[in-house]
Amino acid sequence: MTGLRGRGLLLSVVAIGMVAVSCSKSSSTSTSPTTSANGPTTTVAAKQGGDITLGAEQEPDCMDWIGSCAGAAWGVYTVQTNTMPRAYDYTDSGYKANSLLTGAADLVTTPKQVVTYHINPAAVWDDNSPITAHDFKYTWDQIAHGKDIYDQSGYNQIASVDDTDPHTAVVTFSTPYPDWRALFGGFYGIFPSHLLEGKDRDALMKDGYSFSAGPYKIDHWTKGSEVKLVPNPNYWGKKSNLASVTFKFITDTAAEQQDYKSGQILASYPQAQPGGEALKGSPGTYFDAISGLSYEALWFNVEKAPLDSKAVRQALGFATDRNAIVQQLFAPIQPDIKPIQSMFTPAFGAAYSTPYSKYTLQLSMVDTLMKGDGWAKGSDGIWAKGGTKATLELKTTTGNKRRQLTAQILQTQWQAAGFGLTITPEKAGVLFGQDLPSGNFQIGLYAQTPADNDPGQCVIWCSKNIPTQANGNSGQNWDRINDPNLDKPWLDADTNLDDNARVADAQQGSTILSDLVPALPLDPFPDILVINSDKLGSQQGSFQHNFAYGPFTYLNYWFLK
Amino acid sequence: MLTFIVRRIAYSIPVLLLASLLVFVFVHATSDPLAKYAQSRDLTLKARQGLAQGIYQQPCREFVTGSPPTKAMTCTKAPVLKQYWYWLSHFLKGKMGNSFVTGRAVSADLRSSFGNTLQLIIWGVLISALLSISIGVLSAVRQYSLPDYIFTGLSFVGLSMPTFWFGLIAIDLFSNRLSSLLHVHYPIFFSLGLHSSHARGFFPAALDYARHLALPVATLTVQIVASWSRYERSSMLDVMSADYIRTATAKGLPRRKVIFRHALRNALIPLVTVMALDIGGLFGGLVVTEQIFSIHGMGALFLSDLGNGDTQALLPWLMVTAVFVVLFNLLADVLYGVLDPRIRLS
């Protein structure tokens, strides 16, 4: 209060000076040969120094990245990716060894899966302590054996980590884990054993931490307001051009757009929602939208009549003009957007195939399939069979404009094809926590947000993952599709350590899916970058997307013009 | 007076207890601990697995210990009244526990948010009070004059403008367009938080603070001034037609003295009461303003906790704001007696 009064005395004085404010930036220039994780990049001269402010749509709940509180993607986008070391980087063309390693890890597949990481001797924490094999072991131990861990997948399949040689971590798996490149990195990173071992990791990290082995370190995190990053002077890789980067938490979309227009933030990474094109065409703006890894789909409960009939599910595929839906949702943001034709997006690379392309709007096919299955249209134009009408219920989450619009378009399209559709919005907790696992739904409309481009989808298609008491109701095959032919490729994709064979499995699995239609893929989500290109440049030549870690993972290449 | 205050405080206790019971029951009946996962970007396969396993269920023990949620500790099995008593007995001892979502101490989040909201309230109320009283007096003294019509019209405009709309328009005009007009490359007024992270030194920090405060305080002030100035005008008109004012004028007292010494003081009584009641509500009522200007105050905290279904954080928030409403009601009663000696508080 005293401080406020003191400041208040100055108000009348300072008001006069408001117009005179200007920003001063240091202006030394460096030309840096770059080795982007995204492959070869243009060498661009960059000014050194300058403070920038960027928008963040959400605030991380905590910064103990492996704790159960660390689920928010924005924690990864802003802080984790810039401060935590990773063995492998996810790039939009797949995983690549990080400069933490001297090269790609050695993979031995028989008799057991063993991955050997050779650690770059130059890789150090910000206190100059080397990153060692013991850090790998500590990280594994914390995730695999810790309490309240967000997700233990993969780490719980590791039998041991040999840290005898500090520069070589030898990881032996108990069962094959094809997505091993996502370990010791991803959304977690590697943790400094010399600082955390024997201490309460969660307590030391959850409110922010002082260590770093990335290009930046945390300067401060003011809850509810901002997190500020400053360069890590001891980072062994590409160093930051900027003196500081502040992420302001702006949860209101309209406010974020205004803050961008006024120059208070120089970039934002908005979620894909109808209306997200508001800043497209703004002067001096780099607006780029390409389809990422995430996608929305209709998920059919194949145990619920009438969706227990394959013919009905296929008929719904032919009753849906998916292109019209996708265009209406996202064409203003991404004009070239198209519906996805498998349960992957093009961002998955080779795993993406197009078996669902046969499902276009064809009412004649609907008639053929439905009549062949014993249905007849009633006087109201709705299909009926044995006194039961083909009126379906679609459950989705509340308060999501994109899903509301999708459901409304579907209602109209399916009405024309002879299907009734009621829409039931539910709270996420009810939908994902109760109704989907328990099978209390006919059709679900929700998204898949893969963490990387791993082609394994056994978790949602294999019969062993249908929620049952046997698996603790934890299976994710909520569509309850149970087909041995479908199990085979997806099971193989989850255990085969040959990347090419896994891609072939995924394509085969996708083809079978398109016949069984337990789900109908709709729209890939545009990954949108909004950057003030008058003020910001990138040494990578152009601003890069990263579908897993977000675009700010390349902040160390950014510079203030 | 002391007896009156003690009695009013005593009356407030059952009110607060009832409020605590109601908020506890309603929050638990309606909250969705998993709502934060509605955002598809966060809804990874892994997160879903966690949801299905129930690891995000509401825990009981964490009211006190602050441990993160665990599968084994769920509150859903305990009777609501038992949970209520458990929570209240700890809340009364100042133990608000830790957030289910962030694991941080709820009291720390409340303190930090309260500080930001308090800054808005102090500046907003000060400026609003000055403007409202000035406008109200001027409108009453010059009833049916052009200024009166203008202020009356503006009051209705102010009352009918939605806060979110005014806030966004203010940002567009004074943050975006004004800078363009003046050919400066940085906004004259900020619309993002209460300070910049780069401002160093007392004078630059104070200037930065003023530039951040201007628009949210203006947004807050517009509706308050529109409302309070109408009260003040009406109250002033009543007083100005009173016999003692006529007597004072007849005695030859200067008009300025009649207005400011004799009329204004009495005309302030109803306004002060309204102000006290309104200020109590502001502690939890700046949701839209704080959201638009990205200020992490009580309103923003409420939205965030509500979105997260963080009942652990919501309950203390609701109780703190309820306490302020009751407290400022009490203050209104007391001030009424202080300002008007004719009123005997017994």
Ranges of each domain in chain A: 291-526
Among the partner-chain residues B46, B55, B184, the one whose CB lies closest to the CB of A451 is: B46
Kindly tell me if the per-residue pLDDT of B88 is higher than 90. no
* CA B127 – CA B131 distance, rounded (Å): 6
Which secondary structure element, helix H or strand E, spans residue A389, and what is its range? strand A388-389
Through-space distance between the first and last CA atoms of chain B, rounded to whole angstroms: 7
Cβ B206–A7 below 8 Å, yes or no?
A: yes
Looking at CA atoms only, how far is residue B121 from chain A in angstroms? Answer: 12
Residue pLDDT, tens place only, B245-288: 999 999 999 999 999 888 998 898 889 889 998 999 999 889 99
Q: For residue A450, list chain B residues with Cβ-Cβ distance below 8 A.
A: 44-45
Across the range A154-169, mean pLDDT stands at 96
C-alpha to C-alpha distance for A98 and A86, rounded to whole angstroms: 6
Q: Using alpha carbons only, how large is chain B's radius of gyration in Å?
A: 25
Residue B74 binned pLDDT confidence (cut-offs 50, 70, 90): very low
| pLDDT band at B54; cut points 50, 70, 90 | very low
Q: CB contact, 8 Å: A294 with chain B?
A: yes
pLDDT for residue A419: 97
pLDDT tens for each residue of B205-222 = 999 999 999 999 999 999
Burial B290-325 (b: 16+ CB within 10 A, else e): bbbbbbbbbbbbbbbbbbbbbbbbbbbbbbbbbbbb
Q: Is the pLDDT of residue A21 over 80?
A: no
The answer to whether B200 contacts chain A (CB < 8 Å) is no
Q: Does B38 touch chain A (CB under 8 A)?
A: yes
Q: Does A26 touch chain B (CB under 8 A)?
A: no
pLDDT of A43 higher than 80 = no
If you average pLDDT over every residue of chain A, what do you get? 89
Is B219 within 8 Å of chain A by CB?
no
Q: Are A35 and A554 in contact (CB under 8 A)?
A: no
Task: State the amino acid at position B335 in one-letter form.
Answer: L
Question: How many CA atoms within 13 Å lie on the side-chain side of B99?
Answer: 27
How far does the CA of residue A123 sit from the closest CA of chain B (Å)? 30
A 211-230 → B contacts, CB under 8 A: 220, 222-226, 228
Average pLDDT over residues A128-154: 92
Which residue from A206, A222, A226 is facing B103, i.e. has the nearest CB?
Answer: A206
Does any CB of chain A come closer than 8 Å to the CB of residue B56?
A: yes
Pairing of strands A443-448, A391-397: parallel
Instruction: Verify whether the Cβ–Cβ distance B50 to A249 is below 8 Å.
Output: no
Helix (H, G, I), strand (E, B) or coil at A27: coil
Choose the mutation target among A227, A449, A466, A545 for the interface with B, i.e. most B CBs under 10 Å: A449
| Three-class HEC string of chain B | CHHHHHHHHHHHHHHHHHHHHHHHHHHHHHCCCCHHHHCHHHCCHHHHHHHHHCCCCCCCHHHCCCCCCCCCCCCCCCCHHHHHHHHHHHHHCCCCCECCCCCCEHHHHHHHHHHHHHHHHHHHHHHHHHHHHHHHHHHHHCCCCHHHHHHHHHHHHHHHCCHHHHHHHHHHHHHHHHHHHCCCCCCCCCCCCCCCCCCCCHHHHHHHHHHHHHHHHHHHHHHHHHHHHHHHHHHHHHHHCCHHHHHHHHCCCCHHHHHHHHHHHHHHHHHHHHHHHHHHHHHHHCHHHHHHCCCCCHHHHHHHHHHHCCHHHHHHHHHHHHHHHHHHHHHHHHHHHHHCCCCCCC
Report the C-alpha gap between A330 and A276 in whole angstroms.
Answer: 8
| Structure tokens that stand for A153 in this block | 């997948």
**Nearest chain B residue (CA) to A397:** B38
Residue B324 C-alpha, separation from nearest chain A C-alpha, in angstroms: 18
Secondary structure of residue A401 in the 3-state scheme = helix
Q: What is the pLDDT of residue A71?
A: 67
Residues of B in contact with A467 (CB under 8 A): 52
pLDDT at res. B344: 58
Instruction: Specify whether the CB–CB gap between A550 and A269 falls below 8 A.
Output: yes
Least reliable range by pLDDT among A77-86, A136-145, A469-478, B137-146: A469-478
pLDDT digits (tens, 9 = 90+) for A400-441: 889 999 999 999 999 999 999 999 998 777 788 788 988 999
Q: A87-96, B225-234, B298-307: which has the highest mean pLDDT?
A: B225-234
Under a CB-based contact definition with an 8 Å cutoff, are residues B89 and B299 in contact?
no
Query: What is the least distance, in Å, from the CA of B56 to any CA of chain A?
Result: 8
Closest Cα in chain A, distance from residue B147 (Å): 26
Number of Cβ atoms within 10 Å of the Cβ of B270: 19
Indicate the DSSP class of residue A67. Answer: B
pLDDT (average), residues A23-40: 43
Q: Average pLDDT, stretch A504-513?
A: 97
- Percentage of chain A with pLDDT > 90? 74
Q: Does A3 touch chain B (CB under 8 A)?
A: no
With an 8 Å Cβ cutoff, is B245 touching chain A? no
Question: Which value, to the nearest 10 degrees, does the dihedral of the CA atoms of residues B40, B46, B48, B51 take?
Answer: -130
Whole-number mean pLDDT of chain B? Answer: 82
* CB < 8 Å to B181, chain A: none
B148: pLDDT strictly greater than 60? yes
Q: Which of A252-261, A487-496, A507-516 has the lowest mean pLDDT?
A: A252-261
Closest partner CB to B301 (pick from A73, A224, A473): A224
Tokens representing residue A2 in the block: 């005293």
Partner residue opposite B46 with nearest CB, options A15, A21, A151: A151
Q: Do A449 and B207 touch (CB under 8 A)?
A: no
Predicted confidence band at A462 (pLDDT cuts at 50, 70, 90)? Answer: very high
Cβ atoms within 10 Å of A26's Cβ, excluding its own: 10
Give the residue on B whose Cα is nearest the Cα of A76.
B42
CA B335 to the chain's CA centroid: 20
Q: How far away is chain B from the Cα of A457, in angstroms, using its nearest Cα?
A: 10
**Of A55, A32, A53, whose CA–CA distance to A42 is shortest?**
A32
Q: Residue A344: pLDDT band by 50, 70, 90 thresholds?
A: very high
Best of A76, A187, A230, A264 to disrupt the B interface (most B CBs within 10 Å) is A264
Q: How many residues does chain B have?
A: 346
Nearest CA in chain A to B102: A61
| Dist. CA B136–CA B125, nearest whole Å | 15
Residue B99 binned pLDDT confidence (cut-offs 50, 70, 90): confident
**H/E segment holding residue A522:** strand A519-532
- Buried b / exposed e along A101-136 (16+ C-beta atoms within 10 A): bbeebeeeeeeebbbbbbbbeebbbbeebbbbbbbb
Greater model confidence, B199 or B128: B128
Residues 6+ apart with CB under 8 A from A76: A65, A187, A549, A550
pLDDT at A470: 77
Candidates A68, A200, A282, A446, partner chain B, best to mutate (most B CBs within 10 A): A68
CB contact under 8 A, A427 and B38: yes
Question: For B326-345, what is each residue's pLDDT tens digit?
Answer: 999 888 888 877 777 666 55
The pLDDT of residue B89 = 86
Where is mean pLDDT largest: A43-47, A71-75, A478-482? A478-482
pLDDT at A58 over 90: no
Does the pLDDT of residue A25 top 70, yes or no?
no
Cβ–Cβ contact B70 with A under 8 A: yes
Tell me how close the Cα of A466 comes to any Cα of chain B, in angstroms. 12
Of the listed ranges A3-7, B56-60, B188-192, B224-228, the least confidently predicted one is: A3-7
Model pLDDT, residue A1: 33
Report the length, in residues, of chain A.
561
> Per-residue pLDDT averaged across A218-244, rounded?
95
Distance CA B138, CA A11 (A): 26
Residues 249-278 of B with CB under 8 A from A: none
- Among B12, B103, B24, smallest CA distance to B66 is for B103
pLDDT at A247 over 80: yes
Query: What is the percent of chain B where pLDDT is above 90?
Result: 44
Prediction ipTM score? 0.76
pLDDT at B58: 40
B38 pLDDT above the threshold of 50: no
Rounded to a whole number of angstroms, the distance from the CA of A378 to the nearest CA of chain B is: 38
Distance CA A482, CA A463 (A): 5
Give the Cα separation of A75 and A80 in Å (integer): 6
Of A37-51, A177-191, B168-182, the range with the lowest mean pLDDT is A37-51
Residue B65: pLDDT over 70: no
Which residues does A66 contact at the CB level (< 8 Å), separation at least 6?
A142, A143, A146, A149, A150, A188, A191, A201
Q: Residue A33 has what pLDDT?
A: 43
Residue in chain A lying closest to B211 (CA): A18
Q: What share of chain A is helix, strand, coil (3-state, %, to 5)?
A: 30, 25, 45
Can you give the pLDDT at residue A12?
Answer: 33
Q: Given a cut of 80, is residue A469 above it in pLDDT?
A: no
pLDDT at A473 over 60: yes
A343 lies within 8 A of chain B by CB: no
B110-345 has CATH 1.10.3720.10 classification: yes
Residues whose CB falls within 8 Å of the CB of residue A365, separated by 6 or more in sequence, listed in order: A315, A318
DSSP state of A58: S
Residue A336 class from Cβ within 10 Å (0-12 exposed, 13-18 middle, 19+ buried)? exposed
The DSSP 8-state label assigned to residue A250 in this structure reads -
B211 close contact with A: CB closer than 8 A: yes
For residue A488, count other CB atoms closer than 10 A to its CB: 15
Judge whether A470 is closer than 8 Å to chain B, CB to CB.
Answer: no
Would the pLDDT of A109 be above 90? Answer: yes
Distance CA A499, CA A511 (A): 19
Burial class (CB in 10 A: 0-12, 13-18, 19+), A469: exposed
B-contacting residues of A 231-250, CB under 8 Å? 244, 246, 248-250
Closest by CA to A149, choosing from A198, A181, A188, is A188
Closest-CA residue to B271 (of B125, B133, B152, B151): B133
State whether residue A16 sits within 8 Å of chain B by CB. Answer: no
The answer, for A426 touching chain B at a CB cutoff of 8 Å, is no
The minimum CA-CA distance between A429 and chain B, rounded to whole Å, is 4
Contact B117, B298 (CB under 8 A): yes
Task: Quickly count helices (H) and strands (E) in chain A.
Answer: 16, 25
DSSP A417-471: HT-EEEEEEE-HHHIIIIIHHHT--SEEEEEE--SS-----HHHH-GGGS--TTT
State whether A147 and B182 contact (CB < 8 Å): no
Q: Which residues of B129-140 are buried (b: 16+ CB within 10 A; e: fewer)?
A: bebbbebbbbbb
Show residues of chain A in contact with B73, CB under 8 Å: none
In total, the C-beta contacts within 8 angstroms joining chain A to chain B are 247
Which residues 265-284 in chain A show a CB within 8 A of chain B?
265, 271
Q: What is the pLDDT of residues B3-17, one digit of tens each?
A: 878 888 888 889 999
Of residues B204 and B63, the one with the higher pLDDT is B204
Distance CA A410, CA A322 (A): 9
pLDDT over 60 at A3, yes or no: no
Residue A209: pLDDT above 90? yes
pTM for this predicted structure: 0.83
Task: Please judge whether B41 and A271 are an interchain contact, meaning their C-beta atoms are less than 8 angstroms apart.
Answer: yes
Residue the block writes with tokens 């004085």: A13
Contacts of B161 (CB under 8 A, 6+ apart): B222, B223
What CATH number does the domain located at A291-526 have?
3.10.105.10
Among chain A residues, the shortest Cα distance to B205 is held by A7
Look at the block and give the residue holding tokens 């003009």: A321
Identify the pLDDT of residue B60. Answer: 39
Contact A18 B207 (CB under 8 A): yes
Of the residues A2, A9, A18, the best mutation for testing chain B's interface (the one with the most B CB atoms within 10 Å of its CB) is: A18
